[in-house]
Amino acid sequence: MPDVVKAEVPSWRWGERFDPRIVRNVSDAADAANEQSLSLLEARTLADRWETAYERLSRDGSFPEPRRLAGANALYRAASDFTDQVGRIYAREALYFAWLSATLLGQLHDGVSPADLHIPDSPLLRPSQLYADPSVLPGPPATFTDPPDTPDEESASRVHARVLQCLRIARLDQTKPRYVMDVGFDAATFPDEADESIWGSGGVDLAEALHQYGHVCLWNLALPKPDAGIGN
């Protein structure tokens, strides 16, 4: 069973330097991504359970319990479809969390005082937008350096590089992932993608990388840097 990605929200005191609306929005985005990560784990566990039941019931090929076999197969298919849907939602929420945290961190390192940070107006962000244009997601600021003793797996530049790697893998896996990876794509307009899964497009790996990037940016946003020329 894979580990659950989780963004830990810093102590509430981290937000004393910022507009309360900024704190609420960032905390809400972190919590939303965390909830979808847990929901994905639950959905995958349910799908694994019914796949195992179906395989057990059909193992010897005699099918002595046809109704149980049919039920297990139906539930496995339903759980798999639900897992894909949760994965799409997770990717969307993780993208917003990463975008918001990285955007605010960039403003801070551009010299904007903590009290004057603002959330730019933006349309609903979807993974397909990131796939088409990776610059939708800000990278670490040019003036940013990881705090001393930062583990490699929590280095902002390394985590951002992982996001870009997941995007490159998605390009190799799918010809048209923009319809597969979005929530609520128009199956009537794109019927060939109606039954596709985000698993093939690297959507879950991308969501997890985005979630981790949001977490890293949030914690660096929360750290006071009185020696970096940034207002406090």
- The string of DSSP codes covering 15-29 is GGGS-HHHHHHHHHH
Give, to the nearest 10 degrees, the angle between helix 66-109 and helix 203-222: 40
> What's residue 32's pLDDT?
94
Q: What is the DSSP letter of 168?
A: H
Q: State whether the Cα torsion 94-100-101-105 is positive or negative.
A: positive
Give the Cα-Cα-Cα angle 59, 81, 137 (nearest 5 degrees). 130
For each of the chain's 232 residues, which pLDDT tens digit applies?
456 677 777 665 666 788 888 989 999 999 999 999 999 999 999 999 999 998 888 886 766 788 888 999 999 999 999 998 898 899 899 999 999 999 999 999 999 998 899 988 766 678 878 888 899 999 998 878 887 777 767 788 999 999 999 888 766 655 544 434 444 433 333 333 333 334 444 578 889 999 999 999 998 888 765 443 333 3
**In contact, 177 and 163? CB cutoff 8 Å:** no
Question: For residues 91-120, b (16+ Cβ closer than 10 Å) or e, as one string?
Answer: bbbbbbbbbbbbbbbbbbbeeeebeebebe
**In contact, 69 and 57? CB cutoff 8 Å:** yes
